[in-house]
Amino acid sequence: MTKYSKIYCEHCIRLKLINETWASGNKKLDIFLRKCQDESPVPHCIVEWIEFCELENVKFLAEGGLGKVYSQCGHVVRSMGWNETSNTFVRKRRNVALKVFNGDGLPDEEFFQEAYWNHIFTKQRNYRPCVVGVLGFTNNQEGKYMIVLDLCEGGDLQNYLQKHYKIMGWKDRVKVAWDISYDIHRIVENGSIHGDLHPGNILLLNECMIDDWYISDLGTCGPVDMTKDQKREIKRVLPYMAPELLCGDCKTQESDIYSFGIIMWTISAGCIPFNDRYGDPCLVNDIICGLRPSIIPGTPKEYTELMRKCWDKDPHNRISARDAVQTLKVLLRDIIENNFIDEYPCEINNSWDPLKSDFTVFRTSELLSISHLTSH
């Protein structure tokens, strides 16, 4: 029976997968991996167990709030298709990233949470992917289990802005915001919440393609009907947290929209907001009372209005992800067609230079105590 593909013989693929002999050394992971393979018997969506000895030249790449990421170039993965004649997968070399979580390195709740949501969105490859694709799992010589992901060689949004902000016109900035808004819309459309959106977990697949952004770090992701206790686990970057979260409320799709509004501001400014006040005990209460970043000179009116609709104090007044996508699509079209060329200067406004500010340092997610944040 065909569930996912009209091109490949899913029965043949299933038999091939069932007859493969491998073991991760962790029973729970074995069961999870078999389930993933059963749900996505389409070659470019199949996750697999990868022996660490197959990965060469593994190098440290970055460290975030939940763990460390390594890169590896040239691993052979299933990515091209299925050969009906030989009943084998067509493989291709590609660069991959390896994510290991903090702790003892065994597959724990955070590991499976991230793996599950990566799989949920990766298997929907009839759409443009909205998250970094998961390719499989491995464990290193120390016995630490890792998630194997597509390597986004363009880096994250915060580093991209630090490198390219001075040469980005408004067409580029709106294009980046539009692409990210589409990814968030896909998550919302799936009935899900990300829960930790900030520039450090928005990644560019290829630096040569400015419109190829993907969302990563799905360890805080969940359905809209997740339990209250699950929602109150706050591990985020403070300036991107919605005010209701700072008051101890549950994270929602609307709080993700708030985060996107602050991300839009970051794209317009080239830096993180309020970083010069990061240790200020009054900052949280100021944000709760309505403090938002100042609009950067030269920002298009429609862009400004959309940011304000995203970061409205009342979650019910915030714009939907779908409408945000449409608004940015129309704005980008208007800029490209030069309908308002005088209103959208291509050159960077000389009165604003993020490199001269004292708050260009970006931060990673950290566990925040709501009672501590609001006690001042």
Q: Hey, what are 85's tokens? A: 């004649």
Give the mean model confidence (pLDDT) for residues 354-376. Answer: 49
Q: Which residues of 91-106 are buried (b: 16+ CB within 10 A; e: fewer)?
A: eeeeebbbbbbeeebe
Give burial (CB, 10 Å; 0-12/13-18/19+) of 152: buried
**pLDDT computed for residue 235 by the predictor:** 57
List where CATH 3.30.200.20 sits in the chain.
10-150
CATH, range 10-150:
3.30.200.20
**pLDDT computed for residue 232 by the predictor:** 45
Give the mean model confidence (pLDDT) for residues 260-287. Answer: 90
Give burial (CB, 10 Å; 0-12/13-18/19+) of 88: exposed
Give the mean model confidence (pLDDT) for residues 219-230. Answer: 68
**pLDDT computed for residue 266 by the predictor:** 96
pLDDT at 320 over 90: yes
Q: What are φ and ψ of residue 330, in 5° steps?
A: -65, -45
Q: Hey, what are 309's tokens? A: 């609709």
Alpha-carbon distances, residue 296 vs 258, 267, 273, 289, 299 (angstroms) = 18, 10, 11, 21, 6
pLDDT at 38 over 80: yes
List where CATH 1.10.510.10 sits in the chain.
157-373
Q: At what angle do helices 253-269 and 321-336 cross, to 10 degrees?
A: 30
pLDDT: is 364 or 279 the higher one? 279
**pLDDT computed for residue 65 by the predictor:** 67
**Cα distance between residue 45 and residue 321, in whole Å:** 26
pLDDT: is 230 or 264 the higher one? 264
Give the mean model confidence (pLDDT) for residues 95-120. Answer: 86
Q: In 3D, which of 251, 233, 259, 252 has the Cα closest to residue 368?
A: 233
Report whether CATH 1.10.510.10 matches the domain 157-373.
yes
Q: Are 315 and 254 in contact (CB under 8 A)?
A: yes
Tell me which of 48-57, 167-176, 177-186, 324-333 is least confident: 48-57
Full 3-state SS string of 210-278 = CCCEEECCHHHCEECCCCHHHHCCCEECHHHCCHHHHCCCCCCHHHHHHHHHHHHHHHHHCCCCCHHHC
Q: Hey, what are 198's tokens? A: 């900030």
**pLDDT computed for residue 349 by the predictor:** 47
**Cα distance between residue 329 and residue 28, in whole Å:** 43
74 three-class SS: strand
Tell me which of 122-126, 131-135, 319-323, 328-332 is least confident: 122-126
pLDDT at 237 over 80: yes
List the alpha helices (DSSP H) in the chain.
10-19, 27-39, 109-122, 157-164, 170-189, 228-231, 243-246, 253-269, 283-288, 301-310, 321-336, 370-373
pLDDT at 328 over 90: yes
Tell me which of 98-102, 190-194, 226-230, 273-277 is least confident: 226-230
Tell me which of 8-22, 27-41, 72-86, 345-359 is least confident: 345-359
